[in-house]
A = this chain, B = another copy of it.
């Protein structure tokens, strides 16, 4: 584990259990100061078992304590002097403890507004907020308690940021958008740019065509609920009339595009490079793989999984896993199959002809 996570501070297992729950088996006064994998941990470190594959390492680990599930603890041969915190979800427990150690190791930042920031007098910034260098906050914006705006962030007119929001450097939030409590947005992401909408206003055909595209004003905004995280350089467009909506605890990776008037249901996760066209409605607890494309104006049920690089062109009304991608194979082999694929109807016609010929013979 990188040095950034260690700290001089150590904590007893009893104190961990008090803060994060779990039952202690062993010495509750054992102290740990950081986290490490089972095979690398020393007696001052906390390890975790989340995957059966690593069960044998519990027999040999030198960790000060191990996070383990009740079921896995039963599989472990008795170990003199090894301590456990027993919890139903050791991986989530590990994540929470790791965050606590990081918070302790991270230099405290003083609340206040950097001298170079540009805050409109008509904006309202909580005294506990930390506003970085070269930040811009426009009129009517409301910045909640303990919000962190890193260097170069731009907050448009009338934007509302809930408590404990953290916007990393160079994030842009367009006018009128709303972010709930604890929302995290990574560097370069753009919330609330105009949706892609143009009315064709052309006359004539071919070379004689005249006219132009007329921009459809985008007067909705983006409404992001609590506990959402948005990756670097991701873009979420504002709605045309109504808002684009991201529900609570949605997690979106880097370089994802979400079109105007989409609704992304709570707890759904969207991996990097995915693109979702406008007015699409994605259910709760969905998992959208990397580079997936989803057409506009479709609906995905709750609990839909779309595997990486697949394309969704119609609504998926039932939970389950959906796919349309091929794995790469040897280039020459692929080309051979691809050539036949382009003429599958001819292959089918040959089968039909064979069937007819056999049928005819039968009649002989």
A residues adjacent to B (C-beta < 8 A): 1-2, 4-5, 37, 89, 91-92, 94-96, 98-99, 102, 107, 114, 116, 118, 132-134, 136, 139, 150-152, 154, 156-157, 168-170, 172, 174-176, 184, 186-188, 190, 193-194, 196, 198-202, 206-207, 209, 212-217, 219-221, 227, 229, 231-233, 235, 237, 239, 241-243, 249, 251, 253-255, 257, 259, 267, 269, 271-273, 275, 277, 285, 290-291, 293, 295, 302-303, 305-314, 316, 320-331, 333-338, 340-345, 347-348, 350-351, 354-355, 357-358, 361
Q: Chain copies in the assembly?
A: 3
Which of B152, B271, B277, B328 is the one whose CB lies under 8 Å from A196? B271
A213, B182: Cα distance in complex, Å: 13
| Chain A to chain B contacts (Cβ below 8 Å), 14 pairs | A92-B200, A152-B170, A188-B188, A193-B232, A196-B253, A202-B267, A212-B227, A235-B255, A272-B275, A273-B273, A293-B325, A322-B329, A322-B331, A361-B361
Tell me, rounded to whole Å, the shortest Cβ–Cβ distance linking A119 to chain B: 10
Is A326 a contact of B338 with CB atoms below 8 Å?
yes
Most chain B CB within 10 A, of A151, A295, A308, is at A151
Residues on B with beta carbons closer than 8 Å to the beta carbon of A255: 233, 235, 255, 257, 275
Known A-B contacts A215-B229, A328-B323; A176 and B2 likewise in contact (beta carbons under 8 Å)? yes
- Please provide the 4 A-B residue pairs with the shortest distance between their CB atoms, ordered closest to farther: A92-B201, A136-B151, A321-B331, A118-B133
> If the complex has contacts A311-B309, A330-B322, A337-B341, are A196 and B231 also in contact, measured as CB distance less than 8 A?
yes
Residue among A198, A231, A275 with max Cβ neighbours from chain B (10 Å): A275
Question: Are A341 and B326 in contact, with the CB atoms below 8 A?
Answer: yes
Flag if B190 contacts A232 (CB, 8 Å). yes
Contact of A235 with B242 in the complex, beta carbons under 8 Å: no
Q: How far is the CA of A226 from the CA of B170 in the complex (A)?
A: 26
A352: nearest chain-B partner, CB-CB: B350
**A199 is contacted by which of B95, B219, B343 (Cβ under 8 Å)?**
B95
| Contact between chains at A337 and B343 (CB < 8 Å) | yes
* CB-based nearest B residue for A94: B199
The interface residues of chain B lying within 8 Å CB-to-CB of A172 are: 152, 168-170, 187-188, 232
Are the C-beta atoms of B331 and A340 separated by less than 8 Å? no
Q: In whole Å, how far is A325's beta carbon from the nearest beta carbon of chain B? A: 5
Bound-complex Cα distance A196 to B290 (A) = 11
* Complex interface: chain B residues within 8 A of A92 (CB): 199-201, 214
Determine how close the nearest CB of chain B comes to the CB of A112; give it in whole angstroms: 14
Query: Chain B contacts of A241 at CB under 8 A?
Result: 1-2, 37
A198 touches B134 (CB 8 A): no
- CA–CA, A277 to B289, complex, Å? 10
Q: How far is the CA of A174 from the CA of B355 in the complex (A)?
A: 65
Q: Are B351 and A342 in contact (CB under 8 A)?
A: no
